[in-house]
């Protein structure tokens, strides 16, 4: 029997792939969690029927959410990752030698558990002594933090279920308080083809809170539409003003010094969302 998985990205469009076998299938207290082995993209993590990451293309998302802000900040020492239970974002953060500590707050411990088991290359840094893992609510952690972090990365699922509160103006305002006076935050903000209103709200809310607000993009084949966006809010540092000689080689597969700047060059229809 041939098994195929389809993510219904809208009510009338989806992406499908051939599945060799199902590795995990569990209803956690927070969401439906599935881990499958796919023929095209290797092991893949699904939450509530949505693709979160896969072995083949994960490097794009994780490099871009981490390195753009971390090279924008001149000396990031304490970084917070909200979500990101697969571990890929903290793996990339730890490539920066200035980082002394990464605190990760993931609401669903099962995501971490199964990622360690089935996505070992992605979750490879959980035993690193610079990592503090907290299984808890990222929204609550932000509200209780003040002037604490140099960089905050919101590595969330789409705005449904436990992640819904991570796309609100109140959450961005809480992030601003949790950041130090020269802090930076980046949040994944979905795609402009299907979630234009989400992006428009995110960048406009960020502009009202942070002196510098910018949107940048990358290409991720297993995510809806393939085009993905990140919203950055910065109190001091502009990612487009970072001297290129300050961006070192992190031996990545996607991010480069040149791409750092190029990722902020937006198609006109995406530019319009930022106006």
* Res. 157 pLDDT band, cuts 50 70 90: low
Instruction: From residue 92, give the alpha-carbon distance in Å to each of 64, 78, 106, 247, 253.
Output: 9, 14, 17, 14, 12
**Which residue is catalytic, options 155, 182, 190, 238?**
155
Please indicate whether residue 167 or residue 23 has the higher confidence score (pLDDT).
Answer: 23
- b/e string for 56-69 if b means 16 or more Cβ within 10 A? ebbbbbbbbbbbbb
| Total residue count of the chain as it appears in this document | 275
Name the token pair of 162.
């436990």
Q: What is the pLDDT of residues 32-91, one digit of tens each?
A: 999 999 999 999 999 999 999 999 999 999 999 999 999 999 999 999 999 999 999 999
Closest to 14 in 3D by CA, of 222, 260, 229, 262: 222
Q: What is the pLDDT of residues 194-226, one digit of tens each?
A: 999 999 999 999 999 999 999 999 999 999 999
Q: What is the pLDDT of residues 85-142, one digit of tens each?
A: 999 999 999 999 999 999 999 999 999 999 999 999 999 999 999 999 999 999 899 9
Q: Is 155 a catalytic residue?
A: yes
Q: What is the pTM of this model?
A: 0.95
- Bridge partners (DSSP) of residue 43 are 37
State residue 167's pLDDT score.
66
Q: What is the pLDDT of residues 226-254, one digit of tens each?
A: 999 999 999 999 999 999 999 998 989 99
DSSP string, 58-124: HHHHHHHHHHHHHHHSSS--EEEEEE-TTSHHHHHHTT-TT--EEEEEES-HHHHHHHHHH-TTTST
- Bridge partners (DSSP) of residue 13 are 10
Alpha-carbon distance of 242 to 171, in angstroms, equals 27
- Checking if the pLDDT of 162 tops 80, the result is no
* Res. 165 pLDDT band, cuts 50 70 90: low
254 φψ region: left (φ > 0), alpha (ψ -120 to 50), beta (else): alpha
- Checking if the pLDDT of 147 tops 90, the result is yes
- Checking if the pLDDT of 161 tops 70, the result is no
State residue 163's pLDDT score.
53
State residue 2's pLDDT score.
83
State residue 158's pLDDT score.
62
State residue 150's pLDDT score.
98
- Checking if the pLDDT of 5 tops 60, the result is yes
State residue 168's pLDDT score.
79
Mean pLDDT across 11-23:
95
- Checking if the pLDDT of 160 tops 60, the result is no
Mean pLDDT across 166-178:
87
């Amino acid at each position: 029997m041939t098994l195929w998985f389809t993510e219904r990205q809208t009510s009338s469009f989806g992406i499908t792939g051939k599945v060799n076998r199902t590795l995990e299938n569990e209803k956690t207290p927070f969401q439906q969690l599935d881990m499958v082995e796919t023929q095209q993209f290797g092991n893949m993590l699904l939450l509530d029927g949505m693709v979160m990451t896969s072995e083949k293309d994960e490097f794009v998302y994780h490099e871009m959410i981490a390195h753009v802000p971390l090279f924008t900040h001149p000396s990031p020492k304490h970084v917070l990752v909200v979500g990101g239970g697969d571990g890929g974002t903290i793996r990339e953060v730890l490539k920066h030698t200035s980082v002394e500590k990464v605190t990760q707050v993931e609401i669903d411990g099962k995501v971490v558990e199964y990622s360690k088991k089935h996505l070992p290359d992605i979750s490879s840094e959980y035993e690193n002594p610079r990592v503090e893992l907290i299984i808890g609510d990222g929204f609550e952690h932000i509200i209780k933090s003040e002037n604490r972090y140099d960089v905050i990365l919101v590595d969330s699922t789409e705005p449904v279920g436990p992640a819904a509160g991570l796309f609100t103006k109140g959450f961005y305002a809480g992030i601003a308080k949790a950041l130090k006076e020269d802090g930076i935050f980046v949040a994944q903000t979905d795609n402009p083809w299907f979630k234009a209103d989400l992006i428009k709200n995110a960048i406009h809310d960020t502009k009202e809170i942070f002196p510098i607000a910018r949107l940048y993009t990358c290409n991720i084949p297993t995510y809806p539409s393939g085009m993905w966006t990140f919203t950055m809010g910065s109190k001091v540092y502009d990612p487009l003003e970072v001297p290129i000689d300050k961006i070192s080689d992190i031996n990545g597969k996607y991010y480069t010094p040149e791409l750092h700047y190029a990722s902020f060059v937006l198609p006109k229809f995406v530019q319009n969302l930022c106006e």
